[in-house]
Structure 1
Amino acid sequence: MTDVVLKLSARDLLHADLASCGWAGSAHHLAGVARQLERARLGEVDYLAVCPATDIPVAKGGVDYQVKEGVGTLWQLAVQPALQSCGIGTFLVQAAELRIRNRGLRHAELGVEENNPRARALYERLGYVAYDRQPDSWEEQAPDGTLRRYETMCTLLRKDLP
C-alpha cells in the first residue's frame, strides 16, 4: 500500500469557492455561508477554507468573534466526507486557533452535537474540555427542497490557547 500525502493550506473562504462546496451542505446552507462571508469582510468572523494544491476547498469552517467576549467560537466545521479521518479536520481546527491567537485572544470554544461522538473525540484529542450543554437549532433544507427546523443538544467545549 502506498501512502498519499496532501500538502494543505488554510486561507479565507471566497464567494467563488461556494460552487465547489456542495459536499458541505444544501443550497440553503451555502446561502447562509455566503452571508457569513459578508460578516468576514466586516471583521466579525473568519471563514476558512482548507485546500490541497488544487486550491479547491476540501474543508471549511468559521470563527465567530461576537458570540462571547474574548473568545473565538468555532462553528460550521466540515470536511469533505470522502476525506474524513485523514487529519484535515485537525488541520482546520489548528488553523482556526491560529486566527484566534492572531487576534490576541486566548480562548476557543465550540459546540458539538451530542449525537456526533467522532467529532467530540477529535475536539477532546485536540485539548477541548466540556464545560456545559445547551440546545441549538437551525433551518435545514430537506431533500424535497422544503425548509424544516432542526433541533439538537450540544456539548460546549473550551480550550485555553497558549
Structure 2
Amino acid sequence: MSAVVVSLSVRDLTQEDLQWCSWSGSALHLTQVARELKRSRSGVVDYLAVCPPSDRPVAIGGVDYEVSPGAGTLWQLAVLPALQSCGIGTVLIHAAEQRIIARGLQRAELSVEESNPRARALYERLGYVAHGRKPAAWDAEGPDGVIRRYETVCTLMGKTLT
C-alpha cells in the first residue's frame, strides 16, 4: 500500500462554499450553517473550512464565542465521510483552538453525543476532558425530507489551551 500526501489549508468558510458541503448534512443543516456565517460577520462566531488544493471544503466547523463566557465553544464539526480517520478532524480542531487563543481566551469547550464514541475518542486524544452531561435537541431533516425534533444526550467536554 502506498500513501498519498495532500497539503491542507484552513480558512474561513464562505457562503459560496456551501454548494460543496452537502456531505455535511441536510438542506436544513446547510441553512443553519448559512445563518451562522451571517453571525460570523459580527465576530461572535468563527466558521472554518479545511481544504485540499482544490479549495473545496473537506471539513467544516464553528467556534461560538457567546455560548460560554471566557471560552470558545466548538460545534457543527464535520469531515467528509470518505476522509474520516485521516487526521483532518484534528487539523480542524487545532485550527479552531488557535482562533480561540488569538482572541485571548484559554479554554475550548464542546459537547459530543453519547451515541458518537468515535468523536469522543478523538476529543479525548486531543486533551478534552468530560465534565458533565446535558440533554440536547434540534430540528433535523430525515431522509424522507420531513423535519422532526431530534433529541439526544451529550457529554460536555473542555480543554485548557496553552
2:117 paired with 1:117? yes
TM-score (norm 1): 0.99
> What secondary structure is seen at the aligned counterpart in 2 of 1:91?
helix
Q: Structure 2: give runs of 5+ residues left out of the alignment.
A: none
Q: How does 1:22-41 map to 2 (within 5 A)?
A: 22-41=22-41
Q: Structure 1: give runs of 5+ residues left out of the alignment.
A: none
- Return the alpha-carbon distance in structure 1 between the equivalents of residues 55 and 29 of structure 2: 22
Q: Which amino acid aligns with 2:35?
A: R
- Return the alpha-carbon distance in structure 2 between the equivalents of residues 53 and 44 of structure 1: 29
Q: Which amino acid aligns with 2:112?
A: V
2:10 paired with 1:10? yes
Number of equivalences? 162
- Return the alpha-carbon distance in structure 2 between the equivalents of residues 6 and 94 of structure 1: 18
| Deviations, residues 24-45 of structure 1 (Å, cap 9, x unaligned) | 0000000000000000011010
- Return the alpha-carbon distance in structure 1 between the equivalents of residues 125 and 44 of structure 2: 28
CA RMSD between the two structures? 0.5
2:54 is aligned to: 54
- Return the alpha-carbon distance in structure 2 between the equivalents of residues 143 and 109 of structure 1: 30
- Return the alpha-carbon distance in structure 1 between the equivalents of residues 41 and 143 of structure 2: 31
> What secondary structure is seen at the aligned counterpart in 2 of 1:121?
helix
Q: Find runs of 4+ consecutive structure 1 residues off by over 3 angstroms.
A: none
Shift of 1:142: 1.1
The sequence identity of aligned pairs, in percent, is: 66
Shift of 1:67: 0.3
Shift of 1:147: 0.5
1:72 is aligned to: 72
TM-score (norm 2): 0.99
| Deviations, residues 95-124 of structure 1 (Å, cap 9, x unaligned) | 000000000000000000001000000000
Shift of 1:145: 1.3
2:144 paired with 1:140? no
Shift of 1:2: 1.0
